[in-house]
Structure 1
Amino acid sequence: MTLFRQIYALLFGLFLLTISSLAYVQITETQSFLTKQMESDLNNASNSLGLMLVPTLEAGDRAGAETLVNVIFEGGYYQQIKLTWLVDGEQQVWNNAIRIQDVPQWFIDLDIFHTIKKESTITSGWLQLATLEITAHPGFGYHELWRIISNTIILFSILFLIAIVFARVGLTWILKPLHNLSEHAKKVAERQFGPDMPSPKTRELKELVGAFNSMSTQLKQVFNSLDSEVAELRNKNLVDQVSNLPNRQYMVSRITGWLSEPSSGALFLAKFDWLEEVHSKYGYQVRDETIRLLAEKMQHHLDEMSPSVIARIAAYEFAFLVEEQEHDQLSKYLQTLIRTVNQEITKAGCRANEDFAIGIAERSAQTSVGEMLSQADNALQSAMKAKKVFHWYENSNQQMFSREEWRKNLTQAIENKQFKFRWQPIMLTENDEICQREIYCQLDIDNTPVHAGQFMPYIELLSLGSMLDRCLIESVNDKHLVDRNYEPIAINLTVESINNFDFHTWLKQFLRSCSHPERMCFEIPETCVYADLAACEHLCHIIRDCGAHFGIDHFGRQFGSMSYLQSLRPTYVKLDQSFAHIEDNQHNSELCRALVNVAKGLDIQVIVTGIQEQEQLARFENLRLDAYQGFIVKPTMIEA
């Protein structure tokens, strides 16, 4: 019960008690007054009638006595008059039935007024003539008492209604600071720190609001300090201080994550020896400034061509990771890179297309990080030996299908829902119980198994992401996987679906018709959060309102503030796979700990990914992680 209702009930209880007491006192006093009034009237009537009957009784005129009694009796204030002649003992009795107008019978049956009688002896001198007994009629008392009670009830009801209105308005106004404080407390409990509450006029509430504002500010500072710590650790350990680009460590971790997921693209390694000439001519300060300007230009022009990760991995060596692009787009990216570098070479006073080389290695199936770096380095060395601007690493692997064949096969598979499913359990670190299962899909094309790593790049390339996500979600529902499985099922959403508001509308309708939306989780890559936060907020709001859950995948991979966690409020985050090898680098361990503290500070479940063996999991014991995922528990095929 709310404080408002408690105070409200207390006030009305006191009001009703007061009104009831006043009503009781008034009714009791009125009943006593009416009783005394009837007794006085009865005495007066008895004396008057006795005096009037003396001459008639002396004369023995019974008819005259009856006439005199009728005059008084017809007034209706007496229930019975009994006249007993003492001469012969004859009695004359007059009765009046108890009929009371405008008074309910149940009220009369309460017997509030007891029978009032007055008996007197009529005498003439020393001679006793008759006895007179008069019984009062209670109708007058009941009528008057009922009228007073009715008026009192009407008056008190009006006062009660007025009191309700004034009490509600008054309590709402008085308790408004407490209501605001309660709402603010809920937001703070959810780690949503807004502006300070205005100070109320009530002294006690003013002190309470001031203390709460102070506490909220301190909690906000704690979260901001954790966010700042993450940014500082990233800048210190993962950013090259000269170019402000990511360093070699970050690039290797990105390549690791890239190769662990279904994707396409290429790795570019570039060596800019012309920077050594700038150093020898103008000194290291001009060289560093040239590197910084070159980094800015490459980021500006290359991001327009295709999203990529650009890193400075050595003094004059740079790496470019271009994800989810095919050969034609990679060629355009290369031409843009060459043109941008030549512009900066010319500005530095050097010759274009000289003293720099680029090696390109396109991704193929089942390529490790070492192999990818080796292929790109071999291509770079070949370009330098041949004194060419660039060289592509020759890949002997042939593509399974052409682009149009991929479009035909994937469209047909989506329309006919030909996907097969596997799921991988995500285990709780506390008791090794399953907390959720992540869904993976594969295809059989011409009796050949095709894994997600092979077809997902073409899903993105051919803009089939929304169609695929709809197909997979409907297939999960058609196969009753949600009904068969008590643990939530996690589904990775494509970038196209996250940015497609038509998909948002469809997902809202689907979740509202789903029998167990709370058993469905949707995972959003962190790259999408930084690319389009508004679209992610819209999608997450729909998922949360429909009772489902969502999480952030590849948490900690991108550079930027973690403040988006406050607006999105995900159920869980999955650490990027690069953090699975925290023993390889102490700085990586520090950054991982800081990221975990940020998420745990917002009461968000943290899941570490890429766990391959028990010894690897043991290294995370001190980080208070909630769950783990990896091939330590392998995916299993889902039976139809």
Structure 2
Amino acid sequence: MTLSKQLSILISVLFLAIFSVNYVISVNNIRSYLQIESQVHAQDTATSLGLSLSPYILKESDPILKTMISAIYDMGYYKEIKLDNADDKTLVKLANAKVFEEVPSWFIKLLPMETATAESEINSGWTFGGTLYVTVNPGYAYLKLYQQAKNAFYFSLLAFSVWICVLFFVLRLTLRPLEDINDLALAIADGHFDKIAHLPWTTEVKNVAHSMNIMSRKLSGVMTNLNGKLSALGQKLQLDGLTGLYNKHSFDSDLKQLYLEPTDGYLFLLKIDCLASLVKERGSEAIDDFLQNCAAELKQTAQNFSSEATAYHFYGAEFAVLARNIQPPQARKLAKSLSMTLSELGHVHHKDDIGHIGVVAIDPMGSPEDMLPAAHEAYEQAVMIGPNSYYIRTGDDRAKDIAEWKSLVFDVVDRNSYTIQFISPIQNLADQRILMEEAFIQAFDKHGTSLPVGLFVSIAEKYEKIVALDRGVIEKVITHLESSSSSLNIAVNLSSRTIKNGDFRAWLTQQLKQHAAIAPQLIISFSAYAVAKDFDAYHEFIVFLRTFGVRVALKRFDGQSMPLDKLKTLRPDFVRLSRELSNHLHGDSEKTSFLQTVKEIGDLLDISILAENVLADADFDIVKRIGLTGASR
């Protein structure tokens, strides 16, 4: 019940209590007054009429006695007027039993009134002539009392209604700031640190609103500091400390993301072959300067070519450039530019043959793990060509060509001839419960040979079969959850193409309504990189999922995958850190600080932070000590 209703009820009860007491006292006072007035009136009438009858009282047969009594009686206020002589013989008696129908019987029973009777002795000189009895009709008193009581009740009811309306508006005006305070508290819980611009005039409420503004400002500062710390740590984890280029971990992450997108790209692997001889000739500081110079030139060349070309430094003399959305002629042009950069560096450092470049196209039929070996093979071919040369690998042997793969994937999806395994259980670090498992596709060809899942999903995505595949996976997961009595949560991965498909949305709506009981056990998982790339579409889909109680997880989260403000807007239930951030924590203070910062942000935003595939026991102990919600091993 709202505070406004509680105050309204309390004030109404107090008003009714006070009104009831005053009303009862008022009615009783009026009744007492009317009784006294009736008694006085009866006595006055008896006295005055007795004086008027005294000259004629000894003449009992005189008609004037009755005439005078009738004149008074006809006024109608009397129930009975009786005249007795000295011997108690009734000479005149007039009676009126008039009943006022306006007065209900229950009112008369509830407020009984004594009938007022007065008497007056009539004398003629010194002779006692008789006695006059006057009884007032109580109906008039009841009628007046009833009218007074009714008028008082209606007036009080009107006053009560008016003041209730006034009270309602006053309470609304007074308590409206509490709604602003409540909205601010909810906004803070959602990660939006606003403030109440117009403080209320009520002192106590004003103090609370001011305190809320202070808390919001301080929490905003905390979030800003955490965001800055997270960005700085994430940037440091992503960059090579010596050259400032992105490191090997960033390259692996970007390459995996590139395979999730239906886009073309090329990998350029550069090795500085003269580094070993330079180490012998120069000191460590000179070598560092040389590598920094190489990094700067390579980065400049890549950026001049395309904003989608990124330079990396792996270790030692090994560099790479990953270029997205380029075709073979552009790849050849970039390779030539990089070769010229190597030649210029060789001229500066008096080395004719400074390095070589191996180039390989992103193979949608391959996997991220195959790219670097292929690039190394291309590099070996470049070494045999000549100084500072490059070699572009144009082909690769495949077990099946694209047409065969497409036919195979379509056949498997159409026949629903794949199975679902539940892998990577994530353990709740607080009570060792299993938080969730992940649905993993296992597909086979007609001969029963297991197909590489990454390639299978990539072909389905490329040729728009992924929606049917995702739909089939959800159907199998729902069947599994219904057939088992377990309350285990299952994470299902969906692609960007699937969430944008209107038919899939309609189908999923029907499924979630039909299986509402198990909807909370479904956890729809998205790549943090994919969400950041198409934020509006994912945000709208996540809002849609929440209407059915389905929870959401972001996976492969690292310092650069998604800005904090977008994370605050999405408010996923779970954030799964990338494998690189979940391992090799022992002795790495930067990673540990990053995890601590993410955990603090998760606590503020009510998001569960999960570690992914923690291998070493020492790393697992660190994850537990930091206080992450869960981890898989």
- What is the SS of the residue equivalent to 1:121? strand
The answer to which of 454-463 and 342-351 deviates more is 342-351
Contact 1:267–1:362 (8 Å) recurs in 2 = yes
> In 2, distance between residues paired with 1:126 and 1:487?
117
Deviation at 1:526, TM superposition (A): 0.2
Q: Within 5 Å, which residues of 2 pair with 1:180-579?
A: 180-195=180-195, 197-240=197-240, 245-252=245-252, 268-271=267-270, 289-297=296-304, 300-302=307-309, 310-314=311-315, 317-319=318-320, 333=327, 335-343=329-337, 356-360=356-360, 373-387=372-386, 389-392=390-393, 398-399=399-400, 402-411=401-410, 413-414=412-413, 417-424=416-423, 425-446=425-446, 448=448, 449-450=450-451, 452-477=453-478, 481=482, 484-500=485-501, 503-504=504-505, 507-508=508-509, 510-516=511-517, 517-556=519-558, 558-579=560-581
Alpha-carbon contact 2:339-2:357 (below 8 Å) kept: no
Give the deviation of 1:443 after TM superposition: 3.5
User: Counterpart of 1:76 in 2: which secondary structure?
Assistant: coil
RMSD: 4.2
CA distance in 2, matches of 1:567, 1:311: 31
2:142 & 2:411 partners in 1: Cα distance? 92
Q: Quote the Cα distance in structure 2 between the aligned partners of 1:58 and 1:412.
A: 136
Q: Contact between 2:528 and 2:561, CA under 8 Å: does it hold in 1?
A: no
1:611 aligns with 2:610: no
In structure 2, how many angstroms separate the alpha carbons of the residues matched to 1:237 and 1:55? 130
Which shows bigger deviation, 293-302 or 528-537? 293-302
* Structure 1 position 487, deviation (Å): 3.1
**For residues 343 and 40 of structure 1, what CA distance do their matches in structure 2 show?**
126
> In 2, are the aligned partners of 1:269 and 1:317 still within 8 Å (CA)?
no
Task: Name the CA shift for 1:408/1:341 in 2 (closer, same or farther; >3 Å).
Answer: closer
Residue in 1 that maps onto 2:99 = 99
How far residue 428 of structure 1 moved from its aligned partner, in angstroms, is 1.1
Relative distance call for 1:56 and 1:445 in structure 2 (3 A) is farther
More deviation, 209-218/244-253? 244-253
Q: Is the 8 A contact 1:294 1:341 kept in 2?
A: no
Alignment TM-score, normalising by the size of structure 2: 0.82
Identity of aligned residues (%): 22
The structure-2 alpha-carbon separation of the partners of 1:129 and 1:514, relative to structure 1 and needing over 3 Å to count, comes to: farther
Amino acid corresponding to residue 488 of structure 2 in structure 1: E
What SS does the aligned partner of 1:97 have?
A: coil
Residue matched to 2:629: 626
Q: Does 1:591 align with 2:594?
A: yes
Distance 2:51 2:330 in 1: 134
Q: CA deviation at 1:182?
A: 1.9
- Please say which of residues 572-581 and 438-447 is displaced more in the overlay: 438-447
Letter in 2 for 1:383: A
Q: Which moved more, 1:522-531 or 1:139-148?
A: 139-148
Q: CA deviation at 1:573?
A: 0.9
**Counterpart residue identity of residue 628, structure 1:** A
Q: Name the stretch that deviates more: 34-43 or 372-381.
A: 372-381
Is there any run of 5+ residues in structure 2 with no aligned partner, and where?
279-285, 346-353
Q: 1:45 to 1:404 in 2, by over 3 A?
A: farther
**Residues 416 and 135 of structure 1, relative CA distance in 2, 3 Å threshold:** farther
**518-527 vs 77-86, which deviates more?**
77-86
Deviation, structure 1 residue 624: 0.3
Query: Could you report, residue by residue, the CA deviation over 1:587-629 in whole angstroms, capped at 9, with x for unpaired residues?
Result: 3333333323322332211111213576653342211011122
How many residues of Structure 1 are paired with residues of Structure 2 in the alignment? 610
The 3-state SS of whatever aligns with 1:313 is: strand
The answer on whether the counterparts of 1:267 and 1:376 sit within 8 Å (CA) in structure 2 is no
Greater mean alpha carbon deviation, residues 86-95 or residues 483-492: 86-95
Which sits farther off after the overlay, 612-621 or 558-567? 612-621
Cα pair 2:79 2:96 within 8 Å, conserved: yes
Displacement after TM superposition at 1:320 (Å):
5.0
Kindly provide the CA deviation profile for residues 256-300 of structure 1, in whole angstroms up to 9, marking residues without a partner as x: x779999999983421769999x99x9999766533322424552
- 2:172 aligned residue: 172
Q: Give the corresponding residue for 1:634.
A: none
Q: Specify whether residues 537 and 221 from structure 1 end up closer, same or farther in structure 2 by C-alpha distance, changes over 3 A only.
A: same
- After TM superposition, the score normalised by the length of structure 1 is 0.81
SS of the residue corresponding to residue 131 of structure 1 reads strand
Residues 267, 372 of structure 1: 8 Å contact kept: no
Kindly indicate whether the alpha-carbon contact (under 8 Å) linking 1:518 and 1:547 is maintained by their aligned counterparts in 2: yes
Cα distance, 1:365–1:173 mapped onto 2, change above 3 Å: same
Q: 1:365 to 1:288 in 2, by over 3 A?
A: closer
User: For the Cα contact (< 8 Å) 1:39–1:116, is it kept in 2?
Assistant: yes
Report the Cα distance in structure 2 between the residues aligned to 1:62 and 1:489, rounded to whole angstroms: 117
